[in-house]
């Protein structure tokens, strides 16, 4: 009997094929095989939201292979991922292969291991149309919002802008945080900090009491007051007046869910949500971890039992005190699913294959340790507080000691501060007493970790959507990253969010968005029908689009304003909204001159982190110092420094060279400019000349070249570019390696570009 098993990814197909006999053929669909076409809305809102699907160009080759393979086989199994999207992909594959829904054999598994695959194959089920309808409803809902709201935003604000149901709410979170930061009143305060020692072991302490009164955190307002206290205490002897020690238990954290994995990977490893999920996908597909899209902290009994055996053997009986179970607190979580864990607890981070990708190793290490630690006993900490008195002042020192490591043996917390052995009456040496200046700090910008946490708290999106949502709002130009990889809104984000909040409040309302997610969950659970749910949303939404399209004027949402007058020229200074974003302008530009493209006033783009709503006259005047003529090249051509849409640059004739972050276009010297231009020219020359020629690509029949690009070496056939791993010497790449890299790149999902209005879903 011949059998065909269809999964999504080629890696997954290779892993599963190892567990099945010769009677099976395992093929990959390479992701989605049908989708709504990008060129139009493709949803018939008048007839129960009937969608029109098509096979994307990138999937046609794979679909043809699946159709050919399906001919003549006795059984076809659909083994796509176990979530709603996987169910929908299985349904689309069934439709393409003309498999009746009631007859299609659907199998799911939480891990890619031999036992899990064999168990799934022994009990195939039917397609779950509730999950299919939930995913289809989400896709249609996002298409309706994106394709009806985006053109309106493009018309009223700026062509090319877009809106999305989940993405716009995420942008609102980031905009509101930035406004909190801008409105924050920074205050100065001082603390008096001491360093003491006992038996040559030093430890810090903070002033907490003076003349019998508590010293509050912000009580010392200026340097003079702080120095007066320091001068008074500098020569005072100090002794221990109180030592208080308490034991406290610290319980292990639950195993990872999708969101907590992204949060911890960002905090500990510096990985973005997208990077984390890409690596987790690879670990899952190669059979090393369980399914990585989950909101459950549940663990299989098999793993719980194996963990206790492993812990006893590795660390002793005191570390194997019984299984820990966790209740998922998140509303609507799927308790039948599992948390993210290693498929084999005995595959420790130390025993991973040497050739395994470094990023995958780091993430596996994190997942393994978190899962194993979740089954270990609590750590016991000895917390110590010590009071030191002298000169009518009291300093307090705090420290921790680990009495029993417990779970911290494999999953350590931040370094604990230790104190020397101290007892009441001990005299201590004063190493120093110093004043320290502080400023109150605004709430921090969101990182990938903290934005995922707040999205989860608000019920915005689901495990599979967090990372793509962050990537989308960045790709669409609404959000950027600062030098510390924190998220901040671009200038246009303020305008778009304000327009949506005023005219389409539901679209950016946290509770409404969370409620829509719950309705989609209800569809998946069979508690609600998808068509009535869409009708309830679409009727009022579409009516609002029609009404607002007539009533909103551009001036109502784009707030161009005069900042003041330039003291040198007496001309007004404006901050305006243009085709490529906000800019400042000196003086007027009449409509007649604008049409004739003459007498254009001096203008300058805003820097990437600047906001037009908070821009001051002084800041605008500094921007208007540009463009600036620095001098001439050695060949006599004029060098101009300026800031443009993509940041600061140097211009020589028609040629542009980006300025590195360390150089300011307002202060860059002629020598620095010449050197930057020379380096840029050399870099461009290297990028144009191939490093190696590797023959003809078997797929495209084009020549394969190894080239050096802006982001490092890559292979190219003139159509597709594939980055060469940093671990590989580009000059050691063989024709076979290059061809394989290009095949993988062609099969990978396309990175979204900044699209026209209507493409933001």
Q: What is the 3-state secondary structure (H, E, C) of 412-469?
A: CCCCCCCCCCCCCCCEEEEEEEEEEEEECCCCCCECHHHHHHHHHHHCCCCCCCHHHH
Residue 276 buriedness (CB in 10 A; 0-12 / 13-18 / 19+): buried
Joined tokens for residue 46: 């008048």
C-alpha distances (whole Å) from 390 to each of 131, 202, 210, 212, 264 are 70, 18, 10, 12, 43
Rounded CA-CA distance 267/167 in Å is 23
The H or E element spanning position 522 is helix 510-524
Q: Which of 279, 342, 349 is nearest to 11 (CA)?
A: 279
Q: Which of 439, 377, 446 is nearest to 177 (CA)?
A: 446
Joined tokens for residue 749: 């999902």
Rounded CA-CA distance 659/661 in Å is 6
Q: Which of 24, 77, 291, 649 is catalytic?
A: 291
Rounded CA-CA distance 565/550 in Å is 36
Torsion-angle region of 94 (φ positive above 0: left; ψ -120 to 50: alpha; else: beta): alpha
Q: Is the peptide bond before 374 cis (omega within 30 degrees of 0)?
A: no
Q: Is 77 helix (H, G, I), strand (E, B) or coil?
A: strand
CA gyration radius, the chain: 31
Residue 613 · residue 652 · CB < 8 Å: no
Rounded CA-CA distance 605/110 in Å is 51
DSSP letters for 270-328: ---HHHHHHHHHHHHHTTSB--S--------HHHHHHHHHHHHHHH-GGG---------
Angle formed at CA 321 by CA 318 and CA 324, multiple of 5 degrees: 140
Q: Give yes or no: 574 in active site.
A: no
Active-site residues: which are they?
291
């Amino acid at each position: 009997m011949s059998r065909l098993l269809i999964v999504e990814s080629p890696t997954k197909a290779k892993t599963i094929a190892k567990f099945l006999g010769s009677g099976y053929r395992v093929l990959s669909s390479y992701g989605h095989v049908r989708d709504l076409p990008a060129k139009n809305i493709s949803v018939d809102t008048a007839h129960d939201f009937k969608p029109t699907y098509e096979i994307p160009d990138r999937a046609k080759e794979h679909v043809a292979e699946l159709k050919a393979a399906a001919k003549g086989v006795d059984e076809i199994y659909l083994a796509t991922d176990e979530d709603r999207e996987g169910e929908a992909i299985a349904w689309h594959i069934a439709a393409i292969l003309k498999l009746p829904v009631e007859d299609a054999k659907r199998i799911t598994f939480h891990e890619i291991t031999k036992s899990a695959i064999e168990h799934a194959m022994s009990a195939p089920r039917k397609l779950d149309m509730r999950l299919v309808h939930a995913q289809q409803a989400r896709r249609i809902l996002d298409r309706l919002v994106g394709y009806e709201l985006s053109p309106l935003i493009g018309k009223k604000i700026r062509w090319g802008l877009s809106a999305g149901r989940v993405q716009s709410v995420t942008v609102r979170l980031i905009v509101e945080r930035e406004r909190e930061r801008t409105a924050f009143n920074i205050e100065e305060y001082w603390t008096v900090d001491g360093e003491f020692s006992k038996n040559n072991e030093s430890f810090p302490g903070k002033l907490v009491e003076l003349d019998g009164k508590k010293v509050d955190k912000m009580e010392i307002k200026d340097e003079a007051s702080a120095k007066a206290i320091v001068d008074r205490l500098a020569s005072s002897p100090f002794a221990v007046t109180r030592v208080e020690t308490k034991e406290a238990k610290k319980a292990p954290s639950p195993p990872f869910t999708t969101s907590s994995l992204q949060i911890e990977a960002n905090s500990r490893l510096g990985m973005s949500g997208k990077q984390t999920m890409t690596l987790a996908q690879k670990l899952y597909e190669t059979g090393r971890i369980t399914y990585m899209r989950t909101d459950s902290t549940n663990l299989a009994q098999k793993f719980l039992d194996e963990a206790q055996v492993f812990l006893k053997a590795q660390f002793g009986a005191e570390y194997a005190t019984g299984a820990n179970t966790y209740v998922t607190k998140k509303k609507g979580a799927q308790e039948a699913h599992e948390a993210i864990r290693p498929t084999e607890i005995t595959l420790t981070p130390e025993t991973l294959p040497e050739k395994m990708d470094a990023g995958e190793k780091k993430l596996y290490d994190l997942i393994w340790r978190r899962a194993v630690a979740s089954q270990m006993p609590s750590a016991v900490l000895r917390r110590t507080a010590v009071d030191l008195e002298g000169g009518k002042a009291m300093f307090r020192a705090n420290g921790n000691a680990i009495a029993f490591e417990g779970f911290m043996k494999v999953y350590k917390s931040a370094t604990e501060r230790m104190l020397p052995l101290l007892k009441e009456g001990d005299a201590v040496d004063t190493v120093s007493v110093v004043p320290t200046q502080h400023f109150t700090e605004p709430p921090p910008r969101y990182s990938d970790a903290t934005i995922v946490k707040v999205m989860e708290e608000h019920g915005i999106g689901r495990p599979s959507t967090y990372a793509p949502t962050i990537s989308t709002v960045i790709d669409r130009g609404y959000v950027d990253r600062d030098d510390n990889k924190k998220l901040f809104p671009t200038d246009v984000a303020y305008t778009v969010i304000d327009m949506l909040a005023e005219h389409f409040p539901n679209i950016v309302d946290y509770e409404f968005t969370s409620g829509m997610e719950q309705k989609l969950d209800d569809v998946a659970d069979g508690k609600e029908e998808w068509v009535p749910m869409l009708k309830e949303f679409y009727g009022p939404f579409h009516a609002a689009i029609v009404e607002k399209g007539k009533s909103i004027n551009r001036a109502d949402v784009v707030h161009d304003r005069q900042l003041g007058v330039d003291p040198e020229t007496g001309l007004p200074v404006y901050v305006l909204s243009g085709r490529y974003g906000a800019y400042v302008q000196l003086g007027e530009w009449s409509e007649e001159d604008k049409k004739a493209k003459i007498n254009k006033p001096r203008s300058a783009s805003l820097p990437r982190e600047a906001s037009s709503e908070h821009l001051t006259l002084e800041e605008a005047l500094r921007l208007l110092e540009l463009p600036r003529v620095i001098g001439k090249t050695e060949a006599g051509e004029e060098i101009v420094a300026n800031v443009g849409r993509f940041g600061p640059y140097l211009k020589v004739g028609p040629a542009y060279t980006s300025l590195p972050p360390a150089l300011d276009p307002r202060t860059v010297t002629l020598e620095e400019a010449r050197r930057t231009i020379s380096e840029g020219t050399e870099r461009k020359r290297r990028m144009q000349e191939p490093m190696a020629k590797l023959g003809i690509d078997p797929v495209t029949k084009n020549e394969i070249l190894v080239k050096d690009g802006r982001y490092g070496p890559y292979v190219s056939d003139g159509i597709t570019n594939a980055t060469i791993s940093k671990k590989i010497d580009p000059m050691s790449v063989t024709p076979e390696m290059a061809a394989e890299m290009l095949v993988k790149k062609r099969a990978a999902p396309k990175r979204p570009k900044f699209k026209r209005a209507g493409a933001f879903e």
